[in-house]
Amino acid sequence: MRYQPVIGLEVHVQLKTDSKIFCGCSTAFGSEPNSQTCPVCLGLPGALPVLNKKVVDFAIKAGLSTNCSITPRSIFARKNYFYPDLPKGYQISQFEDPICQHGWLDIQVEGQEVKRIGITRIHMEEDAGKLVHGDVSGLEEGSGVDLNRACTPLLEVVSEPDLRSSDEAVAYLKQLHQIVTWLGICDGNMEEGSFRCDANVSVMPLGSDTLGTRAEIKNVNSFRFVKQAIEYEIQRQIELIEDGGRVVQETRLFDPNSGKTRSMRGKEEAHDYRYFPDPDLVPLVIDQAWIERTRGELPELPEQRRQRFMNDFALPAYDAEVLTASRGLADYFESCVALHANAKAISNWLMGEITRALNDNSLSIEACPLVPSRLVDLIKLIEGGTISGKIAKTVFDEMWRSGKEPAVIVQEQGLLQVSDTGAIEAIIDEILTREAGQVAEYRSGKDKLFGFFVGQVMKASKGKANPGVVNELLLSKLKG
Amino acid sequence: MDIVDQSIHELHQTLKSREVSSVEATKALLARIENLEPQIGSFITVTPEQALADAAAADKRIAAGQMDLLTGIPVALKDIFLTEGIRTTCGSRILSNFVPPYSATAWDKLKERGMVLLGKLNQDEFAMGSSNESSAFGMARNPWDTSCIPGGSSGGSATAIAARQATVTLGTDTGGSIRQPASHCGCVGLKPTYGRVSRYGVIAYASSLDQVGPLTRDVTDSAIMLGALAGHDPKDSTSVNIPVPDYTAALTGNIAGLRIGLPKEYFIAGLDPDVQHSMDAAIATLRGLGAEFVDISLPNTDYAVATYYLIATAEASSNLARYDGVRFGHRAEASEGLLEMYTKSRSQGFGAEVKRRIMLGTYALSSGYYDAYYVKAQKVRTLIMQDFIRAFEGVDVILTPVAPTPAFKIGEKVADPLQMYLSDIFTIPVNLAGTCALSVPAGFSASGLPIGLQLIGKPFGEETILRAAHAFEQATEWHTRKAVI
């Protein structure tokens, strides 16, 4: 029998606010344990939460960018369970009436049709702290509790079970990741847990419309692991059914080392969270004016920008896609285009050398040492025939290293392109004399050797010879 | 007049005339505390050093001419208010070692005004009780008859006033916890409208019902204290941002034409005859002052106690989850693993009544029962609110007894929680409706126990009930009587 996987994702997006969701403590990562705490996030007796309005702004932005409707009167609820990293014994979240509902994203897996994935809801909640095991200063044994992260704002984005493969899941996740980072509401750092995902996976016989029993997979914190975990889980469930077994509803943990999922707790051990409206927080009323004000602050979204790049700059779809992968890259591109109209050349450099250099140095485009005007100057030198494309790469590397202007580098290192036919002729003559055997072979029909001669000439000129001139002269001379 | 008998406004005049200093007044009350504590047990923690330091500072302010109405006035707080650096137990073993790092907004406001802190007052554990018998530190006793309960949960707040151990005290009221002990001990107790006073730094029992209020010698003091406590607090989202009137200006003595409703559901057969008699006499007095009486109905009154014990316990089961032994409070010794640490710490730390309510509330919120209990209770709560809204279309104030009986004997209802719960039958609906009410002394039983009258106002209608209570107080002498100890 063939099977149809059904996948829904719950994504936790950590919001990039300066302060926590219900108190004024800093959200900065990596400080001394428990240094960023107060009575509210420590859950001390008598402390009360006060909602950070910025979190609401961010949630509205996320909702508007994922085609959700914004709930005019949404409420916070308590999710009750005991754990040492949860100071109050409950997490303030949203249950009934979350802030955003009924949205969607259009995704596309390479080589497939565009597909619309439903978003059930987006709600706001606070994060828990974390436990520190072993090597806790001042502690002989046992575990420590660090509550710096407690009360950090999160959005939970819940998709409909509309995804049908691990590739679709990854495409959806990448798109959502792009949107929240693009909006500037999340730093998108998956390793630090700023963007993390739980996957609900089930399988049903192909053609069936009855969903199978699902397992929830926790702790998948990279795109690769999401793909791996889902594929493993689909396979596990199919094998289980084929062997006459039954999938049980449970929570499973993904182990990145083995690439497998293992059972964490079954349905019987599932928590009864006893959700109820939090009496410490009044209902959140969002009027149309608030929504429109926030809509006005939204940046142009990746999809719109991609279309505009294709229309306004005549870029190929591929280029537009790559350049809108992040808001920073798209901004950089636009800064360059504003200085110089050759959009395709700029695109080539951005997708090529700049991306390579950024990757080599583990830098983001925001930290690029080259300002857009430098890149444009370099491109202008090529177009003006001052240097060859090949030499330009040398100049680029030097520019990256020293920050000098490209014209200065060309001057200092004597990299001016040689277009003087006399000088080039002399080099060609010398090479044709030296390589008499090859010349004979070429003339007897081995056309492929032409590249060899070009290479030799460029080498002898240290790359400075104008390749157009070299080609022209070589052709005529080899004809003999 | 003995300094310990003086009200806030009387002591203010005494201090202002330099007849006595704040330090002297404080010493007199501390002496009273020391002498009477073995019999009464009003306090969980007395803070004489803090008090004398506060008083000395107040005397300096007075000498410098920077005196306001509350400067140098000694106050004691129910042990539910967080006081920075001073142990705050909430009447529970689980917080017997808890010294908070911050103070409640209510206390901050009074401290700012130069009030003197005498100590922390006895209460039912986590404010759960109507008799003070659930305190983990031994109960407070009724100064009018020490074989009787003082009422609860703010029992110590009422006994400290009645026994002249403090000039004024603060309590909290979730289902009657200010009004019922005030009634049983013969003082004035005010529960403001929900949202009128900040709850920040007040240990939560049932967050949607809890409200802070004063227990005082007379109505004028009550008005003064409400003025000091009321107002929006940015740290409490449920505190309401509306102007705070001058409540003492409302005490005109004139209630001619005031329409007072008498809800038939509160004057039931089985009401204690002494209570009934006091109510009848009070109605006659108020009528003599020009008030008009209207028979009204609050038809959902019967469901109030059941509704309260679902909503309050549901919220409490969640509010009390933070007492887990992880970050503060009692942690059981020698636990094997996390679960055992939780269960042992909480089993040892909480008393029977608290455990009972946590279990009730947990049950009411559990999946499968939530709709039948919690959601239904919320719906009934809405009906009860609507009862009051409708009633207030025709009347300005509602008059009822505070409690069906005067203070009962210690131990009388311990074995029967339901009987105990019913002693709050007349006060609970006010908390569910979120409106304001007060208890003012209105008579004594044949055996000499005080009986209180409840005046219920519209939401944020404190001025009207204070005005009515003040006029009544002017026409009677019940509030001037002293417990003989």
pLDDT tens per residue across span B414-473: 888 888 888 899 999 999 999 999 999 999 999 999 999 999 999 999 999 999 999 999
Alpha-carbon span B82 to B80, nearest angstrom? 6
**Contact residues on chain B for A145, CB-CB shorter than 8 A:** 326-327
Q: Which of B238, B323, B342 sits opposite A282 (nearest CB)?
A: B238
Is B131 an annotated catalytic residue?
Answer: no
CA distance B353 to A426: 106
Q: Do A206 and A347 reside in the same domain of the chain?
A: no
pLDDT above 70: percentage of residues in chain A: 98
The structure tokens listed for A207 are 């053609």
| Statement: residue A476 has pLDDT above 90 | no
Give the predicted TM-score (pTM) of the model. Answer: 0.89
Residues A233 and A376 in one domain: no
pLDDT of residue A137: 66
Please, what is the average pLDDT of chain A?
A: 91
Q: Establish whether B344 is a catalytic residue.
A: no
Residues A272 and A324 in one domain: no
Query: How far apart are alpha carbons A337 and A331 in whole angstroms?
Result: 10
Same domain, A222 and A347: no
B258/A327 Cα distance (integer angstroms): 68
Q: Where are the beta strands (DSSP E) in B416-478?
A: 437-444, 450-457
* Average pLDDT value for residue range A177-197: 93
A51 lies within 8 A of chain B by CB: yes
Q: Does the annotation count B207 as an active-site position?
A: no
The number of folded domains in chain A is 3
pLDDT the model gives residue A406: 87
Residues A46 and A121 in one domain: yes
Residues 6+ apart with CB under 8 A from B186: B144, B162, B441, B450, B452, B478, B479, B481, B483
Over 90: is that where the pLDDT of B98 sits?
Answer: yes
- pLDDT tops 80 at residue A281: yes
Mutate to test the interface with B, among A276, A281, A282 (most CBs of B within 10 A): A276
pLDDT confidence of residue A475: 86
Judge whether B95 and B329 are in contact, CB under 8 Å.
Answer: yes
Beta carbons of B111 and B77 less than 8 angstroms apart: no
Give me the residues paired with residue B132 across strands: none
Residue linked to tokens 């590397």: A397
- CA nearest to A174, candidates A258, A257, A110, A101: A110
User: Which one of A267, A292, A317 terminates a domain?
Assistant: A292
User: Is residue B189 within 8 Å of B171, Cβ to Cβ?
Assistant: yes
Separation between Cα atoms, residue A379 and residue A341, nearest integer Å: 11
**Residues A170/A227, Cβ–Cβ less than 8 Å:** yes
**Are A305 and A362 in a shared domain?**
yes
Residue A448 has pLDDT above 90, yes or no: no
Q: Which of B27, B78, B120, B458 is catalytic?
A: B78
pLDDT of residue A414: 74
pLDDT at A420: 75
- pLDDT tier, A135 (very low <50, low <70, confident <90, very high otherwise): low
Query: Is B337 within 8 Å of chain A by CB?
Result: no
Virtual CA dihedral for A313, A316, A322, A324, nearest 10 degrees? 40
pLDDT of amino acid A138: 67
Please name the helix (run of DSSP H) or strand (run of DSSP E) that holds residue B51, with its range, or none: helix B48-63
Residues A441 and A405 in one domain: no
- Give dist(CA A254, CA A247) in Å, integer: 17
- Which of B77, B326, B367, B369 to probe by mutation at the A interface, max A CB count within 10 Å? B326
Tell me the percentage of chain A whose pLDDT exceeds 90.
65
Assess whether pLDDT exceeds 90 at residue A467. Answer: no
Last residue of a domain, one of A413, A443, A461: A413
pLDDT for res A139: 67
**Residue A439: its pLDDT value, please?**
87
| Residue A362 belongs to domain spanning | 299-413
pLDDT of residue A394: 86
A303 in the same domain as A282: no
Alpha-carbon distance B54 to B131, whole Å? 32
> Above 80 in pLDDT, residue B270?
no
Q: Are residues A471 and A382 in the same domain?
A: no
Q: Give yes or no: residues A373 and A438 share one domain.
A: no
Q: Residue A265, CB half-sphere, CA atoms under 13 Å: how many? A: 6
Q: What is the mean pLDDT of residues B371-391?
A: 97
Kindly provide the ipTM of the predicted complex, given to two decimals: 0.96
Asked whether residue B28 carries a pLDDT value surpassing 70, the answer given is yes
The confidence score (pLDDT) of residue A136 equals 66
Taking residues B84-98, report their average pLDDT. 98
pLDDT in tens, A241-278: 999 999 999 999 999 899 899 998 877 677 899 999 99
Distance CA B249, CA B470 (A): 11
Query: How confident is residue A457, by pLDDT bands cut at 50, 70 and 90?
Result: confident
Give the nearest partner residue to A82 out of B235, B324, B366, using CB atoms: B324
CATH number of A475's domain: 1.10.10.410
State the DSSP code for A155.
E
pLDDT tens for B186-223 read 999 999 999 999 999 999 999 999 999 999 999 999 99
The reported pLDDT for the residue numbered B440 is: 98
Q: What pLDDT is recorded for position A171?
A: 95
Domains observed in chain B = 3-256+469-480 (3.90.1300.10), 302-378 (no CATH)
Q: Is B84 on the interface with A (CB under 8 A)?
A: no
Please state, in angstroms and rounded to a whole number, the distance separating the CA atoms of residues B143 and B19. Answer: 29
**Which of A394, A413, A432 marks a domain boundary?**
A413
Rounded to whole angstroms, the Cα distance separating B304 from B380 reads: 8
Same domain, A221 and A319: no
Instruction: Provide mean pLDDT across the span A176-187.
Output: 95
- A10, HSE (Cβ side, Cα atoms, 13 Å): 13
User: Position of tokens 């944020």?
Assistant: B460
Higher-confidence residue: A48 or A383? A48
The 10 Å Cβ neighbour count of residue B223 is: 29
Mutation choice for A interface testing from B97, B339, B365, B432 by most A CBs within 10 A: B365
Q: Please give the Cα distance from B186 to B130 (Å, whole number).
A: 16
Residue A143 φ/ψ, nearest 5 degrees: -115, 155
Contact by Cβ (8 Å): B80, A22: no
Helix axes A436-443, A467-479, angle to 10 degrees: 70
- pLDDT, tens digit (0-9, with 9 covering 90-100), for B121-139: 999 999 999 999 999 999 9
Which pLDDT does position A437 carry in this prediction? 87
Residues from chain A contacting residue B315 (CB–CB below 8 Å): 276, 279
Could you tell me if A302 and A182 are in contact, meaning their C-beta atoms sit under 8 angstroms apart?
yes
Do residues A213 and A231 both lie within one domain? yes
User: How large is the average pLDDT for residues A401-424?
Assistant: 81
- What does the DSSP 8-state code read for residue A354? I
| Mean pLDDT, chain B, integer | 96
Tell me: the pLDDT tens digits for B3-24? 999 999 999 999 999 999 999 9
**Nearest CA among A44, A36, A41, A7 for reference residue A22:** A41
Q: Are B148 and B410 in contact (CB under 8 A)?
A: yes
